[in-house]
Amino acid sequence: MPRSKRARVVHESKTAKKDHKEQTRRLYANIRECVEEYDHLFLFAVDNMRNTYLKDVRAEFSDSRLFFGKTKVMAKALGNNPETEAAPNLHKLTPYLTGAVGLLFTSRPAQSVVEYFENFRPSDFARAGTEATRSFSIPNGLVYARAGEVPTQEDEPISHTIEPALRKLGVPTRLVKGKVMLELTDGQEGYQVCRKGDTLDSRQTTLMKMFGVTSSEFKVDLKAQWERNTNEIKILEQGEMEVDA
């Protein structure tokens, strides 16, 4: 029996496929244009990547251009050698284009850019698979919302509705007259969630987030700078500028 045409599924919307070649061409062209337009080029690396904070950087430098794309394309746009570089000495930056790095074109004073990124270090919750930068434990007795991270007079007891979730995550809590209590019988002073240097799993990071414990720092490290007026390359280390020999 032939298949009925009435049973055919007709999709009312279609998703256009991304043209990767066009994106690559546009990234290459935009970088080449910025070399001619802006006074400074900073090559930066991102530690503990967070899109939210990268958006804050983009908003702060709305008068500039920030590129965070494929490193091979960015290297090709700058130039891999003196014959193909977009401007003198730019090929010297390509060895630094590895990992989570990007390019910032700006005409702001160079020192103001360096100072901004030295001070822009927002804290965030750690992700599973990262290394714990600190130890964290939940003290015995009445469980507070910040688990000892702030003085008890500035804190408040955790809601009884969260107690089942804590037990599910392995924390030996119980309800006593509507209060969430942690009582360990082995002489420990508290429940150890993690120790500094541990590789965190999802259970540990969930507990840290529940108690508002931030241990990850979003950081943008400026690695190198190029000046259009002098074509000079400077290597930036710990906020200090050193001329590349």
pLDDT, mean of residues 102-110: 95
- Which pLDDT does position 22 carry in this prediction? 87
pLDDT at 241 over 70: no
Q: In this structure, how many other beta carbons lie within 10 angstroms of the beta carbon of residue 142?
A: 13
Proportion of the chain above pLDDT 70, given as a percent: 87
- Which pLDDT does position 15 carry in this prediction? 55
- Which pLDDT does position 239 carry in this prediction? 39
pLDDT at 20 over 80: no
Average pLDDT taken over every residue of the chain: 86
| CA proximity to 135, closest of 190, 188, 198 | 198
Phi, psi of 11 (to 5 degrees): -80, 125
Token digits of residue 178: 């509507």
- Which pLDDT does position 39 carry in this prediction? 95
Of 11 and 27, the one with more pLDDT: 27
CA distances from 108 to 47, 104, 113, 194 (A): 23, 11, 7, 43
Q: In this structure, how many other beta carbons lie within 10 angstroms of the beta carbon of residue 7?
A: 6
Over the stretch 153-165, which tens digit does the pLDDT of each residue have? 899 999 999 999 9
CA dist 225 and 231 (Å) reads 10
pLDDT, mean of residues 221-229: 93
- pTM, two decimal places: 0.71
pLDDT at 111 over 70: yes
- Which pLDDT does position 184 carry in this prediction? 77
Q: ∠ at Cα 133 (127, 136), nearest 5°?
A: 85
CA dist 140 and 3 (Å) reads 69
**Amino acid at site 64:** S
pLDDT at 104 over 80: yes
CA dist 34 and 106 (Å) reads 9
**Residue whose pair of structure tokens reads 């007709």 in the numeric block:** 10
**Residue whose pair of structure tokens reads 């103001």 in the numeric block:** 112
Determine the angle formed by the axes of helices 20-37 and 71-78, rounding to 10 degrees: 40
CA dihedral 73, 77, 78, 82 (to 10 degrees): 110
pLDDT, mean of residues 22-36: 92
For residue 245, the 8-state DSSP code is -
HSE (CB half, 13 Å, CA atoms) of 232? 11
CA dist 57 and 52 (Å) reads 9
- Which pLDDT does position 12 carry in this prediction? 60
pLDDT at 21 over 60: yes
Partnered with residue 221 across adjacent β-strands are: 45
